[in-house]
Amino acid sequence: MNTIFESLQQFWSYTGFANMTWQHIVMIAIGIAFITVAILKDWEPLLLVPIGFGMIIGNIPFVSGLNIGIYEEGSVMNILYQGVQKGWYPPLIFLGIGAMTDFSALISQPRLMLIGAAAQIGIFGAYVIALHMGFTPAESGAIGIIGGADGPTAIFLSSKLAPHQMGAIAVSAYSYMALVPVIQRPIMLLLTTKKERLIRMAAPRPVSQKEKIIFPIVGFILTAMIVPSGMPLLGMLFFGNLLKESGVTKRLAETARGPLIDVVTILIGITVGCSTQADEFLTGDSVKIFLLGLLSFVIATTCGVLFVKFMNLFCKEGRKINPLIGNAGVSAVPDAARVSQNVGREFDKNNHLLMHAMAPNVAGVIGSAVAAGILLSFLG
């Protein structure tokens, strides 16, 4: 009888119920909240559902030594997590993004690239603030990149500069990507007048196929020469775009923007979610990272809108830019551009800003990768 009782006691000691703490319960609840928001609100479901379920997986308590945890060397989850830790997954995501992206809006209106550049100020502004809050230069650089609203870039840079903070940085970046409409709209309305919101922009000129083919080649050479450390992201982004635009590699382009990016998105979401184990994630630094990430995103949006207003001081009538596309300078493609379109149509139903907003939006993708390269050059 005693043997049976002891066996039951031993079995109980190995269950999740016996090892559960309030921290595990909090993280599981957050994971369920991510899934709920993704399903009910349709906020970035392709990201939040895998991350949310990964949080649940990563916070089921277990006895150490079973070789199942994401931080236990050689476990299945640890092997999958190598793609995040070593930076394999982000370039593959950028390959798929490149194969999806049409740079026509940017090619036809190159001046709008400056808006994407201005929005990157949020990254460096948050970097300075993080330094003053006690983070190291490397940690501050990794935290600042959240302002680019680019999850893969945040993972890539944090894996190099602050791997111990990667879970909080990645979850923060993807969370704010999902909250783009909620965060940006009030800022856009606060910083613009009704007259500015009604500005109609001239239709962009048609772009030839030859221009579309030349752009990724020239774009990569120029950006990689300026920031060689950003080559893994920039190279895959422009290569993916060349696959799309060349017209002779349709199968490769379809694979890159379809099955490949879907598989890598699942792996990133699940492993990043798993990395938020309660003992690693629920710290004071994580709270600071979320606050700094929000601040970085707010600064980026603000700078984008204000920079358009500044540009308009030098633009003739008929060439002025609607400041509502300034928010699209962050690299949340195409969500930020959709916000520009939706807010613009609130004031003029026939004012279609989407095609114009896509120019700074895709410029923001390039800009965040360049910013990551700059930070890596100085801090890596």
pLDDT of the residue at 213: 97
Specify whether the CB–CB gap between 166 and 151 falls below 8 A: no
Neighbours of 62 (CB within 10 A): 13
Specify whether the CB–CB gap between 297 and 335 falls below 8 A: no
Measured CA to CA, the distance from residue 32 to residue 7 in angstroms comes to 33
Cis peptide before 334 (omega within 30 of 0): yes
Q: Per-residue pLDDT averaged across 358-365, rounded?
A: 93
Measured CA to CA, the distance from residue 188 to residue 344 in angstroms comes to 10
Rg over CA atoms, the chain: 22
Q: Per-residue pLDDT averaged across 215-239, rounded?
A: 95
pLDDT digits (tens, 9 = 90+) for 151-178: 899 999 999 999 888 888 988 988 888 8
Specify whether the CB–CB gap between 120 and 366 falls below 8 A: no
Neighbours of 313 (CB within 10 A): 7
pLDDT digits (tens, 9 = 90+) for 335-360: 899 999 999 999 999 999 999 999 99
pLDDT of the residue at 269: 93
Q: What percent of the chain is modeled with pLDDT above 90?
A: 71
pLDDT of the residue at 353: 93
Work out the mean pLDDT of the chain and round it to a whole number: 91
pLDDT digits (tens, 9 = 90+) for 292-328: 999 999 999 999 999 999 999 999 888 899 999 999 9
Measured CA to CA, the distance from residue 266 to residue 257 in angstroms comes to 14
1 pLDDT tier (thresholds 50, 70, 90): low
pLDDT of the residue at 2: 66
Q: Per-residue pLDDT averaged across 246-268, rounded?
A: 96
Structure tokens at 224: 């990689």
Scan for tokens 């120019």, then name that residue: 359
Q: Give this prediction's pTM.
A: 0.91
pLDDT of the residue at 65: 74
Q: Per-residue pLDDT averaged across 63-83, rounded?
A: 86
Angle formed by the axes of helices 137-144 and 121-132, to 10°? 140
Q: Per-residue pLDDT averaged across 69-97, rounded?
A: 91
Measured CA to CA, the distance from residue 237 to residue 217 in angstroms comes to 11
Task: Please give the angle made by the CA atoms of 271, 59 and 56, to the nearest 5 degrees.
Answer: 65
pLDDT digits (tens, 9 = 90+) for 243-255: 999 999 999 999 9
Structure tokens at 300: 């980026």
Task: Print the SS3 string covering the chain.
Answer: CHHHHHHHHHHHHHCHHHHCCHHHHHHHHHHHHHHHHHHHHCCCHHHHHHHHHHHHHHCCCCCCCCCCCCCCCCCHHHHHHHHHHCCCHHHHHHHHHHHHCCCHHHHHCHHHHHHHHHHCHHHHHHHHHHHHCCCCHHHHHHHHHHHHCCHHHHHHHHHHHCHHHHHHHHHHHHHHHHCHHHHHHHHHHHHCCHHHHCCCCCCCCCCCHHHHHHHHHHHHHHHHHHCHHHHHHHHHHHHHHHHHHCCCCHHHHHHHHHHHHHHHHHHHHHHHHHCCCHHHHCCHHHHHHHHHHHHHHHHHHHHHHHHHHHHHCCCCCCCCCCHHHHHHHCCCCCHHHHHHHHHHHHHCCCCCCHHHHHHHHHHHHHHHHHHHHHHHHHHC
Any idea of the CA torsion for 286, 288, 289, 293, to the nearest 10 degrees?
Answer: 140
Scan for tokens 């969370």, then name that residue: 175
Is the pLDDT assigned to residue 111 strictly greater than 80?
Answer: yes
Is the pLDDT assigned to residue 44 strictly greater than 70?
Answer: yes
101 pLDDT tier (thresholds 50, 70, 90): very high
Q: What percent of the chain is modeled with pLDDT above 70?
A: 99
